[in-house]
A and B are shown apart, each in its own frame.
Chain A
């Protein structure tokens, strides 16, 4: 039996409680829904039910509305026709705002700034975290990963599942309608014209059905393509089809060359589909006998679609049972591993993204709050200025409710003015932000293209604007609507400093601003300095003047180690001969690149702990002049020589971190080690110790690294690095040409300067730093304006008092000192209060920013001094004005 949609049913139940025939309606709707579901399908009946829900809730709110609206109407608009009265009120508000054009402009601008940063932050949060994937029914998808129990580091659900375990899961699951796996498959793609490097994935037969997609042309990969393989078939991306094949309709059935092998094109993916991470080619996952037995290599990412009516919790419970069963059957390889289920969005976005964007959103809200305090202060000041007007209205019989209503309508009008300005501001800053993102990174940030202004954002910002303006105007409105009619009118509108309670409220607002600004500035300072350090600080090598080109050899053409070595040597020779080149070398992975490779090590003289327990190090096969080209200093021993070849003794260079880990306090040179699972069991002698480098800003800083001479282990991945005497970008054409002359079928993956590489790697952190910088700057400016306006108002209200004091002999210096002391005192109280949350925040920040942030007390000190200094500067102008009060004039104006 089909049940109505749960949320809709709750709405219906709510309505039913408010209507005399509600219970009957609830039962009828359920019964009719079940009947429709049987006859027309679940989707139709659910839609029908939602439609009925809307009709019913309209009826219920009419009933409810007619009662409560009547109450509200008689409170706000006694005897009036509501719409006419409201329009009238808006007109009056407009007049009142025009009477204080500067104050109005200041409020609208402050509100717009505060809302603008929130709009920009929310747009990013929405696009990158809340709904980054535009796949059908994405909320029914989940990620299943395998985590090692004893591993306390953050888990990355990507590439975590062994093929044989996946096969077992898929055959046993009931909760998942589909369970699919995919594996990274970057390829050299030729067919059409020039060869190119294309990102692809090998996917299981369930992959496309799970995503509920239909191909633009042909068909997707099916069961027959994955069993008993290898089948050389591919689905190509829509963009690739348009670009390389001119959208030819007869592409299906054509042959393309991938990694030197011929593949049949069986289909074209839907337009805009590039999941996972910018994929353009999808091939069948290898389901040969060897793969089906493999429980050791965890390289699959596994996704599932929940069956109808099942939840993530059901999936977690079921996968726990299945995981335990699989572990019992295959204890050796699964000893420490168990499956975990995550929601699709959580599992597929970069770890940390939620927290970072959440932090920026919170920062933006704090800026809005600081700005809001200024608005409240301005309104309070104006409220006091309008005391006479208000007192007069009260005296001739206006109700307090009516005055309150007018002040609230005024703030709604202010919000309506601020929203378009704020959206324009957000639009501009988002455009700027998007233009700074390197194109090569884009596919790796799902949802990036969707950052922008849309209906949803407009709604969120409009609601926020209304809430904010009502919130910021409620206290001033209450204050302004309760003046003592008699005294105010009798005094001729002058009151000593706007009354005691008003003064306290306004000072408290300024103290609050300062307190909120402190944690915001601490976050800004820490992220900013981290971004600077990693983008511009010492890297352990010299990125200036180096250009790099990556290419990947394929087994079909370079199966023999000698061929791979010859290829690398030709590349180095050619590059060294280019004009303006100082040095050239090759490596498997350059620092700040997007890939890494590690090896387990066995140390001579110590017992082999066995796989999984050995020490590990990042592994690089580099040519003889690599250290010279990258300017990585050697602290001990020697670099590789041309005499370190496949025929001579195996040697290695270790990083200082690795030397320290393996032989703490001892000399590493002369020691011997061996690579864990390698076929070659000969000992490798350490001949040198190289300086540490930052290989990756968030996970591999100054880590252990093992360098092996390229001729001793020639690799498929070849990264040419070339140090130029001058501008390295000038070499990019020549380097490409060189590769083409050596092997025209070999595409470059990229040709980039090392500076560019580093920029791409740290651009995310730099953006975070820049965004936090903007928020911090706004916070300071707004807080300074708040303090300035408070002091200016303070002085203008006390002209008379100051005049009296000066007439009695107070010097100008005394007056200045007193005014500044007051500002200084307010700022100090605020900053001290703010230090508490700021201190707590640093712990959170470390977690959010992958521990790249170091807690530095001097930063705290600098922020405190800066804020108090700014407060003093902001009060200078009002203080000078106070000192210029002419006692005679001040007293005469009585």
Chain B
């Protein structure tokens, strides 16, 4: 059993979305990437709660930007993956790959 904590499916998607956003990873683009690429409608609250949980588990770190007028005076919170976060994502991906080996004919979309 690897050392990184287990992450659920939604959490995996959120971590991946943060990586996709790169430097600009705050809540608005994260949700947009999730919506565009996962083709799923995720409740606003579900995404925010996942981010909170991931940070609590030590898989994410975050910093606050400057307060902005366009956000009604609120600051953006930028997220990035910690080393543990990246490990957890690798483990999860490895697990999926291991389990799907030999099933390509069934799982690949025609």
Please name the residue on chain A nearest to B30 by beta carbon. A28
Cα of A628 to Cα of B56 in the assembled complex, Å: 100
B83 within 8 A of A: no
Cα of A1 to Cα of B69 in the assembled complex, Å: 9
Residues in chain A near residue B42, CB distance under 8 A: none
Cα of A470 to Cα of B68 in the assembled complex, Å: 48
* A59 contacts B72, C-beta separation under 8 Å: no
Can you list, as one digit per residue, whether each of A1-26 has a CB less than 8 Å from chain B (1) or not (0)? 10110000100000000011101111
Cα of A1 to Cα of B75 in the assembled complex, Å: 17
Can you list, as one digit per residue, whether each of A174-193 has a CB less than 8 Å from chain B (1) or not (0)? 00000000000000000000
* B48 contacts A25, C-beta separation under 8 Å: yes
Can you list, as one digit per residue, whether each of B1-40 has a CB less than 8 Å from chain A (1) or not (0)? 0000000000000000000000000011001000000000
Residues in chain A near residue B72, CB distance under 8 A: 3-4, 9, 26-27, 30
* A28 contacts B45, C-beta separation under 8 Å: no
Shortest CB distance A26–B (Å): 6
A56 within 8 A of B: yes
A1 with B70: in contact, given A27-B75, A31-B28 (CB under 8 Å)? yes
Choose among A3, A9, A28 the residue that contacts B27 (Cβ–Cβ < 8 A). A28
Among the interface residues B44, B45, B52, B75, which one has the most CB atoms of the partner chain A within 10 A? B45
Cα of A55 to Cα of B28 in the assembled complex, Å: 17
Shortest CB distance A307–B (Å): 22
Interface size on B, residues (CB 8 A): 19
A52 within 8 A of B: yes
* A24 contacts B45, C-beta separation under 8 Å: no
B94 within 8 A of A: no
A32 within 8 A of B: yes
B49 within 8 A of A: yes
* B70 contacts A28, C-beta separation under 8 Å: no
Shortest CB distance A23–B (Å): 6
Residues in chain B near residue A28, CB distance under 8 A: 27-28, 31, 44, 71
A34 within 8 A of B: yes
Please name the residue on chain B nearest to A34 by beta carbon. B70
Cα of A26 to Cα of B28 in the assembled complex, Å: 11
Residues in chain B near residue A31, CB distance under 8 A: 28, 68, 70-71
State the majority secondary structure of interface residues on B. Answer: helix
Residues in chain B near residue A24, CB distance under 8 A: 27, 48, 74, 77
* A26 contacts B45, C-beta separation under 8 Å: no
Residues in chain A near residue B70, CB distance under 8 A: 1, 30-31, 34
B76 within 8 A of A: yes
State the majority secondary structure of interface residues on A. Answer: helix
Shortest CB distance A358–B (Å): 39
Residues in chain B near residue A55, CB distance under 8 A: 43-44
* A56 contacts B44, C-beta separation under 8 Å: yes
* A27 contacts B76, C-beta separation under 8 Å: yes
CB under 8 Å from chain B, chain A span 301-353: none
Choose among B43, B52, B71 the residue that contacts A30 (Cβ–Cβ < 8 A). B71
Please name the residue on chain B nearest to A4 by beta carbon. B72
Shortest CB distance B87–A (Å): 26
Choose among A3, A20, A32, A56 the residue that contacts B28 (Cβ–Cβ < 8 A). A32
Residues in chain B near residue A1, CB distance under 8 A: 69-70
A21 with B52: in contact, given A28-B28, A55-B44 (CB under 8 Å)? yes
A25 with B44: in contact, given A1-B70, A31-B71, A34-B70 (CB under 8 Å)? yes
Other CB < 8 Å A-B pairs besides A24-B27, A27-B72, 7 of them?
Answer: A25-B44, A25-B48, A26-B72, A27-B27, A30-B74, A34-B70, A55-B44
Name the 6 nearest CB pairs between A and B, nearest first: A27-B74, A27-B71, A21-B48, A30-B72, A30-B71, A31-B71
Q: Give the interface of A toward B (CB within 8 A).
A: 1, 3-4, 9, 19-21, 23-28, 30-32, 34, 52, 55-56, 59
Q: Give the interface of B toward A (CB within 8 A).
A: 27-28, 31, 43-45, 48-49, 51-52, 68-72, 74-77
| CB<8 Å pairs between A and B, sample of 21 | A1-B69, A3-B72, A21-B48, A21-B49, A21-B52, A23-B74, A24-B27, A24-B48, A24-B77, A26-B74, A27-B27, A27-B76, A28-B27, A28-B28, A28-B31, A30-B71, A31-B28, A31-B71, A52-B44, A55-B43, A55-B44
